[in-house]
Amino acid sequence: MTDLPANVISVAALHNRGRVFRDRTHAGTILADMLARYRDGDAIVLGIPAGGVPVAAAVAETLHLPLDVAVVSKLTLPWNTEAGYGALAFDGTLRLNETLVRQAGLSKTDIELGTARTREKVERRLHQWRGARPFPSLAARTAILVDDGLASGFTMLVAIEALRHQQAKEIIVAVPTAHSDSVIRVARQVEWLYCANLREGLRFAVADAYENWSDVEEETVGQLLGTPTGPP
């Protein structure tokens, strides 16, 4: 395994293994064991939707911490909705992957349309899951930012930037699985990074760490957050 920064906590026995979690809830309970020092403290757990919220819910429940959501969404290519060339956060923080923008030959109009489409999605999700509730105050507070895995880590970096804008005292990233390159990149931006299943190699998919993997519906996210209203 590549040498990792000192602020990265992982489980050596799970390095470079596949199918180590039954599902996202199981992954969250394993992360919670790693995060035991935060139990019953003043931290808040923030899930990145959609797949990160079930993981975050298990972490929050196990550690007796409040659960909330950090809405961040990828800007996806017009011809491939799985591939992202940027990300937009709940507070308007926007970052583009300039290398991918150039490689894809995206025009200014493409980016403007993609940004507008993503902003509409983020605002809809905020309304759906938060309603009129303000974002929780993070001043003098630890934020535990959770997703179901890190592939490129780009979306996570935008989420971290948004939490810095909220003046979080300390940002902890917690993910069940990640590529080692992304872990190194993300760890530079936070106080601590917890990852149970670190993997290396040319081929990496978050789903490969799970026995049971499927998309998480927005209604499920709402239920986990205590706002089971479904799409507006």
pLDDT in tens, 161-187: 999 999 999 999 999 999 999 999 999
CB-side neighbour CA atoms (13 Å) of 160: 20
Tell me if 232 is assigned to some domain: no
Q: CA 203, 209, 213 angle in degrees (round to 5)?
A: 110
Number of domains in the chain: 2
Tell me if 65 is assigned to some domain: yes
Tell me the average pLDDT across 25-50.
Answer: 98
pLDDT of residue 67: 97
What are the helix (H) ranges across the chain? 24-34, 52-63, 98-104, 108-130, 154-165, 180-187, 218-225
Do 107 and 160 belong to one domain? Answer: no
Residue 230 has pLDDT above 70, yes or no: no
pLDDT of residue 92: 96
CATH number for the domain harbouring residue 50: 3.40.50.2020
Cis amide bond preceding 50, omega within 30: yes
Tell me if 15 is assigned to some domain: yes
pLDDT of residue 231: 38
pLDDT of residue 219: 95
Tell me if 36 is assigned to some domain: yes
pLDDT of residue 232: 38
pTM of the predicted structure, to 2 decimals: 0.94
Do 41 and 115 belong to one domain? Answer: no
Residue 111 has pLDDT above 70, yes or no: yes
Question: Edge-to-edge strand order for the sheet containing 72-77?
Answer: 72-77, 80-89, 94-96
Higher pLDDT, residue 2 or 114: 114
Tell me if 3 is assigned to some domain: no
List all residues 6 or more positions away from 3 whose beta carbon is below 8 Å from its beta carbon: none
- Condensed to tens digits (0 to 9), the pLDDT of residues 17-36 reads 999 999 999 999 999 999 99
Q: In percent, how much of the chain has pLDDT > 90?
A: 89
CB 128 within 8 A of CB 224: no
Tell me the average pLDDT across 220-231.
Answer: 75
CATH number for the domain harbouring residue 112: 3.30.1310
Do 150 and 46 belong to one domain? Answer: yes
The per-residue pLDDT of the chain, averaged, comes to 94
Tell me the residue range of the domain where 54 lies. Answer: 8-71+136-225
Do 206 and 108 belong to one domain? Answer: no
Rg over alpha carbons for the chain, rounded to the nearest Å, is: 17
CB 195 within 8 A of CB 34: no
- Condensed to tens digits (0 to 9), the pLDDT of residues 184-216 reads 999 999 999 999 999 999 899 999 999 999 999
